[in-house]
Structure 1
Amino acid sequence: MNEFQLLQHTLAGPAVCAGVGVHSGKRARMAIRPAAANVGVVFVRSDLTEADNRIRVGPKSVARTQLNTEIANASGVSLSTIEHLMAALTALDIDNAIVEVDGPEVPIMDGSALPFIQLLDRAGRKTQEAPRAYIEVLETVEVQDGVKYAALHPSDRFEIDVEIDFPSAAIGRQRVIMPVTERSFRDELASARTFGFIQEVEALRRAGLARGGSMDNAIVLDGDAILNPEGLRMKDEFVRHKALDAIGDLYVLGAPLLGRFESRYGGHALNNKLVRAFAERRDAWRMRTPTQVLAEAV
C-alpha cells in the first residue's frame, strides 16, 4: 500500500529528444511537456496542422498492432511505436503529459525504455493537487488467439506474469513474474531492448516496417545466434522486453492498474484485444483512489 501515489503527477519541465523511427526510418523530434491534472496522456503530431493533430490515448485509440502499438484519432492522424514511452510514463507515475512529435513515429532511441526514463528524470516530476485514480480489477477478464492467451486478474498491486517461447536457441522459453513498481521497472525492465530476426527484415521492409532498425536500436538474431557484438544486457532480455511492451500497452487504459497481468506467447495485438475486452466489461473493474482502498483494508 505504501507504493500508492495519492496525487497525480506531471513533468516539472519539458523533456526533448530526437531520433529515428524503427519502422518508418524517419527522423523525428519529440517534446514531452507538462499537462494539467486530469488531462491524461495526449500525443500531438506537430508536423500536421491542417487536421486535428491531437490523439488522446485510450483503449479505442489503438489503430494497428503489427510489431508496435499505433494510435490514431477520428481524423485519421496516427502515430506509431508509443509503447516504450508509455511504459516509462506509467513506471514513473506520470499521469498527465502532452507529447509532441514532428513525424509519424516516436523515436526508438536504443530500443528500450531506458532513454525515456533518463529523459523524464532530467525533466523532473511535479505533484498536482488532484487525487490519483487506479483501475482496480474486480473479476478476471481473459482473451485467447489459438495458443496465445492474456488475462487480467484481481490483485491488490500491479503484477505481471509473461511467458514467451521461440524456436531460436538464443531465446527458447522464458518467463518473468514480478510486481511492477518504479524501482522494479528501473532495475529489471527498463533497459530490455526490442528484438528481431535478420531473416525477416526484407519482408518487413517491403511491408513498410523495420526501415530504421539496426543493431543500435534492437537485438538482431540470425537463427540461433545473436549478432550484436555487445551481446545481451540480461540473460532473459527478450521476455523482459515483452513485459515492458505489455506495461506500455496496458497504460492506454488511461490509469495505473491494481491487478495481475498474465500473458502466454502474446504481443501487441493480444494486449490490445485484452485492453478492449476489459474496458467493455464494466462489471470487472472500478476506479479507486488509494484513500478508498486503504479505508476498505482497515
Structure 2
Amino acid sequence: MFKQRTLKRIVRASGIGLHSGQKVMLNFVPHTVDSGIVFRRIDVNPPIEIPADAMLIQEAFMCSNLVREDIKVGTIEHVMSAIAALGIDNLIVEVSASELPIMDGSAGPFIYLLMQGGLIEQDAPKKFIKILKPIEAQIADKTAAFTPHEGFQLNFTIDFDHPAFAKEYQSATIDFSTEIFVYEVSDARTFGFMKDLDFLKANNLALGASLENAIGVDDNGVVNEEGLRYNDEFVRHKILDAVGDLYLLGHQIIAKFDAYKSGHALNNQLLRQVKDDPSSYEIVTFDDANECPISYVGIA
C-alpha cells in the first residue's frame, strides 16, 4: 500500500512577512491520518484552524489567502508547494501572523525545513485526485486547464513584453516528481516590478519585500546583483506557485495542467470547477507505490 505521510517531529522557523513586513513564527507539526493540511493561527485566542481548502480561498490578488471566520492566512502557496513536493498528506502549519514568512521568495527553504522534520509513513492509503475529462477556466485572455494524463505534468506560459523576459524563456514544462521539483523548480523566486513597489507599499502591501526575497525588475532588466538562478526563473516560479495552489484540492492531482498567463485567482477558479463537477474526477489509491505515476522522495 502506498501510504500517507506526515513529519516525525516538529520543526520551527521564523521569517518576515512579504506584505506585512513583520516577523512571523512558523511551526510544522505532525498530524493524524486523513486530516489533510491545516493552518493554525496561534496569535489569536483561541487559536483558529483553517484547512488548506480551495473553497476557503477568498482573496487571490498577489498571493493565495485562506479565510475562515474573518481570520486570514496569506501567502501560503510556497509552503503548499513544498508540502506537495514531498508528498506530505497530513500536517499542521502553525503561524503567528496573518501570512507565512516569505523566506528567500522560493519554496527551497521550506523543503529544507520539512526534510529536517523527517518524513514518516502513516497506516492509511495515500489518496490522489485523478482527472477524468478536460476542464478549463478562463479570465479574459488567461487560461488554465486540466486534461487526463498518467502523471502530473505542468505546462506554463507567461507573456511579458519586457527586456527582462526573453521570449525563449517564457514557457516551461515539468513532469512533476520530488526530484524534479527540488532540483529544477523549488529555488525559483517570486518577482515584481520596481515601478509597482510604491503603489503596493502605499496600500500596505509588499512592506517586507526586498531583493533578499524577490527578483526586482526595472525598465531595463533584473536589478538583483546576482541575476537569475535559472534563465527561465520567472516561468519556473509560476509553476512553483501552481503546484502550491493546485494542492488546495486536498490531494495530489493526476492530470496534465496547461496554463497561459494564469495566476492564483484563475488556478483557484479551475479547482472550483473541478469541485462543482463530481464527474470530472475520482479518488484513487495505489496498492504498490511503484504503480503510482508520480514519484516522491523515499522514506528511509
Scaled by the length of structure 2, what TM-score is found?
A: 0.94
What is the distance in 1 between the residues matched to 2:288 and 2:228?
Answer: 43
Alpha-carbon contact 1:137-1:258 (below 8 Å) kept: yes
Shift of 1:293: 11
Aligned residues: 291
- Equivalent residue for 1:142, pick from 131, 136, 139: 136
Look up the match of 1:72. 67
Any idea what SS the aligned residue of 1:226 has?
coil
Q: Counterpart of 2:287 in 1: which secondary structure?
A: helix
What is residue 117 of structure 1 aligned with on the other side? 111
Residue 102 of structure 2 is matched in structure 1 by 108
Q: Which amino acid aligns with 1:204?
A: L
The range that moved more, 96-105 or 205-214, is 205-214
The 5 Å alignment of 1:25-64 reads 25-50=21-46, 53-64=48-59
Sequence identity percentage? 38
- Given candidates 218, 229, 243, the residue that maps to 1:247 is 243
| Whole-angstrom CA distance in 2 between matches of 1:72 and 1:293 | 35
Matches within 5 A, 1:247-266: 247-266=243-262
By how many angstroms is 1:112 displaced?
A: 0.1
Aligned match of 1:192 in 188, 195, 208? 188
Change in CA separation of 1:293 and 1:112 when aligned onto 2, cut-off 3 Å? closer
1:203 aligns with 2:202: no
- Structure 2, unaligned stretches of length 5 or more? 294-300
Shift in Å, 1:232: 0.5
1:128 is matched by which residue type in structure 2?
A: Q
Q: Any runs of at least 4 consecutive aligned residues in structure 1 with deviations exceeding 4 A, and if so which?
A: 292-295
Give the aligned partner of residue 128 of structure 1. Answer: 122
3-state secondary structure, aligned to 1:84: helix
Q: CA deviation at 1:224?
A: 2.8
Structure 1 residue 207: Cα displacement: 2.1
Q: Does 1:92 align with 2:86?
A: yes
Write the distance in 2 (CA, Å) between the matches of 1:293 and 1:104: 37
Secondary structure of the structure 2 residue equivalent to 1:165:
coil
**Corresponding position of 1:163:** 157
Which sits farther off after the overlay, 268-277 or 110-119? 268-277
Write the deviation string for residues 72-121 of structure 1: whole angstroms up to 9, x where unpaired. Answer: 11x11111100000000010000000010011110000000000000011
Tell me the amino acid that sits aligned with residue 71 of structure 1: L
Q: Give the TM-score, by structure 1 length.
A: 0.94
- How far apart, in 1, do the equivalents of 2:282 and 2:124 lie? 18
Deviates more, 1:240-249 or 1:14-23: 14-23
* In structure 2, C-alpha distance between the alignment counterparts of 1:291 and 1:216, rounded to whole Å: 44
1:72 counterpart letter in structure 2 = V
Quote the residue 2:297 is aligned against.
none
2:221 is aligned with 1:225:
yes
C-alpha contact 2:2 2:289 (8 A) present in aligned 1: no
Aligned pairs for 1:7-26 within 5 A: 7-26=3-22
Contact 1:31 1:101 (8 Å CA) reproduced:
yes
1:165–1:172: 8 Å Cα contact kept in structure 2? no
Q: Which residue of 2 aligns with 1:272?
A: 268
One-letter amino acid matched to 1:37: V
Letter in 2 for 1:240: R
SS of match in other structure, 1:152: strand
